[in-house]
Amino acid sequence: MKLSYWKRYDRVFKLFSPKKIYNKILGFARNLGKPFKKKSKRGPKMKLQPEEYASYIAFKGSKGDAYRDMELDSETFFGKNLDHSTFGKNFQKIPNNYLRKLLQLTGKHLEKLLHHAKVHVPDSTKLTTDRYKDIIYQGKPRRIKETFKLHTMVQRHPKKQMTIIMDGFSSDGHISDAEGAVRMSHVLQEGDILPADRGYDYEKVYSACAERKVKTNIKKQNRGDGRGFRHRKKAKFRKQSYKKQRGIVETRFAAIENAGLTLTHYRKEDTRFKYGLLLEIKQNIDNLLRLEAEGLFFIC
């Protein structure tokens, strides 16, 4: 009997304790290797291994927990109390690229379990902070919240009611949606389909897809083609297919926003970018747990 989405979600809470979920992330981190090394043999020994710090911070941080929350639960997870400052210091040591590789590793693992799906949807969402900055807009000073972008490349599995994040990264506002899609296009395979909104209606996206023999279904902007738009002129837009393929991805981002996870209190830009990746890793881990709760797979 096929279980509904919410019944699978409910089983996750019944079958998996927080420590089991942490261990699931730790398994991927150990396969990837250590995110950083101790600079010298001098000084006190590290209380946890680097991959343990990365996994614990990924688990707790993706839920919006602060470093003090991590300290409160550290004895439950590790049998010893760890000061909140150690988590902050070690989070700074974890390279941004390490977390991106961890995300890609979880995505490939899910793809192996569910098999490759052709539809890949690029999308981005705005993440905000609780800090403000002063800018000049149309010649007038304005005070706005600091924001950044979270780019994703999602593989859609409609039969399983599931989406896999195959790649992603965070950036400031200077990197466009189209540029983000090009940077993540390495996950696309020949014969895949790329539905996308108007933000991706640029020649460089069509060119990247043409190079990999990927079909595009991108909603076009109201502008003239101009010279040099060779691949855009050939591309077709199928409205009904576009709505069907994109809807589930936009709903997924809305769920993250409703949970209050699109707001971060981190001050440094690099740390904010890492937080975006933690959110994406959490989505893949949640999907893996739902599969296991359904009883289909018990490997990791």
Residue 299 binned pLDDT confidence (cut-offs 50, 70, 90): very low
Residue 116 has pLDDT above 50, yes or no: yes
Residue 229 has pLDDT above 80, yes or no: no
Q: How far apart are CA 134 and CA 271, in angstroms?
A: 21
Residue 236 binned pLDDT confidence (cut-offs 50, 70, 90): confident
Please, what sign has the CA dihedral across residues 167, 171, 174, 177? positive
* pLDDT, mean of residues 118-134: 87
Q: How far is CA 296 from CA 5, 271, 291, in A?
A: 14, 36, 6
Please, what sign has the CA dihedral across residues 91, 97, 99, 102? negative
pLDDT at 300: 39
Indicate the residue type of 127. L
pLDDT at 90: 94
pLDDT at 2: 60
pLDDT at 11: 67
For residue 75, give both structure tokens: 């004895």
Lowest-pLDDT range of 167-176, 210-219, 221-230: 221-230
More confident call, 228 vs 196 = 196
Q: How far apart are CA 267 and CA 9, in angstroms?
A: 33
125 and 262 in contact (C-beta within 8 Å)? yes
For residue 255, give both structure tokens: 């769920």
The angle that helices 96-114 and 269-293 make with each other, rounded to 10 degrees, is 20
Residue % of the chain over a pLDDT of 90? 52
More confident call, 260 vs 179 = 179
Residue 237 has pLDDT above 90, yes or no: no
Lowest-pLDDT range of 18-22, 147-151, 263-267: 263-267
Q: What does pLDDT average to over the chain?
A: 86
**Torsion angle in degrees (nearest 10) through CA of 45, 46, 50, 53:** 170
Name the burial class of residue 108, with classes exposed (0-12), middle (13-18) and buried (19+) by CB atoms within 10 angstroms of its CB.
middle
* pLDDT, mean of residues 152-162: 88
* pLDDT, mean of residues 105-117: 94
For residue 46, give both structure tokens: 């590290």
pLDDT at 250: 65
pLDDT at 225: 56
* pLDDT, mean of residues 286-296: 79
Residue 101 has pLDDT above 60, yes or no: yes
pLDDT at 120: 95
Residue 226 binned pLDDT confidence (cut-offs 50, 70, 90): low
Listed in sequence order, the residues at least 6 apart from 110 whose beta carbon sits closer than 8 Å to its beta carbon are 164, 284, 287, 288, 291
Indicate the residue type of 257. E
Indicate the residue type of 92. Q
Prediction pTM value:
0.88
